[in-house]
Amino acid sequence: MSSARRRRSFARWDREEVVHAGARCDGVRGDCDRRAKTAAAPPSGTRISSPPTQCRNGRTDCSDHSRAAEATRRSRAAADDRAAPRSPQYLVAGVLLLDYTLWWWHWLNHVAPPLWRFHLVHHIDRDLDASTALRFHFGEMALAAFFRAAQVRFLGVDAEALAWWQRMLLVSILFHHSNIELTSDADAQLVRFIVTPRMHGIHHSDREEETQSNWSSLFTCWDMLHRTFVYGVPQESITIGVPAWKEPLTTGKLLAIPFEGQRDDWLGNA
């Protein structure tokens, strides 16, 4: 067939009626496509819903969606549990646990040489007063922050118990580091429950056997429990400080102590 006849045949075919996608049309194909789309479109106002997403197992409630819903439910339940008021027993138990574990941290600062390097700075102060309660090496403070986080994490205490304990602890350490002179009877009555200036003054003695006692920070029962409670030492016989560090020290020297060669701190003790 010649090329001219082939072109005429195609032209006739384009002009014939063509059925496209169920819609009858004639003329050019582009017009037929438009009419086919119009015929396939749903009536106006018809709501079209997409088919549900099928999971691998053929179910529409996919496991990912189920896990997300379960996580949301648990999160809301945990939030409701935290918001619910706790009984007084939880508060008391939390305060006691925090204070008891702090006793162990204080003890560890005395018996572990790497920690004592930093805690030593607190004991070098030879003038015991309320400001001594805040004189700690920044290295010890950083380590104590990690310990505090571990306390809260592993003990599982709530924010209310932590807040109450920290308030009580701050008041306690300012009080028992102070140079307030209580009467012997008043001190003896208080020391049955909380740390007093007389009791903690013994802990700051320049005698090693006295320093290695009275590690409580708030409640004295922990020293009584571990038989590390020492009290009957005459006040006039106590010298505050560490024997190997009697010379005046600048702030820079105090900060450098943990990183320098260590002295025999208790040299000269009889």
Beta partners for residue 194, in sequence order: 219
**Domain around 211:** 88-259
Question: Which pLDDT score is estimated for 63?
Answer: 62
How many domains does the chain contain in total? 1
Distance CA 244, CA 124 (A): 9
Assess if residue 82 is contained within a domain. no
pLDDT tens across the length of the chain (270 residues): 555 555 555 445 444 444 444 444 444 444 555 554 554 555 555 555 445 545 555 554 556 667 777 777 776 765 555 555 568 899 999 999 999 999 999 999 999 999 999 999 999 998 899 999 999 999 999 999 999 999 999 999 999 999 999 999 999 999 999 999 899 999 999 999 999 999 999 999 999 999 999 999 999 999 999 999 999 899 889 999 999 998 888 999 999 999 988 888 887 554
The pTM score is: 0.68
Question: Which pLDDT score is estimated for 157?
Answer: 93
Write the Ramachandran bin of 8: left for phi over 0, alpha for psi from -120 to 50, otherwise beta: alpha
- Residue 181 gets which letter from DSSP? -
Assess if residue 29 is contained within a domain. no
Assess if residue 67 is contained within a domain. no
Count CB neighbours of 112 within 10 A.
Answer: 11
CA atoms in the 13 A half-sphere facing the CB of 61 = 5
How would you class 214 by CB atoms within 10 Å of its CB: exposed for 0-12, middle for 13-18, buried for 19 or more? buried
Assess if residue 76 is contained within a domain. no
Question: Which pLDDT score is estimated for 16?
Answer: 47
Q: Hey, what are 59's tokens? A: 């179910």
Assess if residue 264 is contained within a domain. no
138: which residues sit within 8 A by CB, 6+ positions away? 255
77: which residues sit within 8 A by CB, 6+ positions away? none
One DSSP character per residue, 225-268 reads HHT-------GGG--BS-TT--S---HHHHHHGGGSPPP-TTTT
Assess if residue 60 is contained within a domain. no
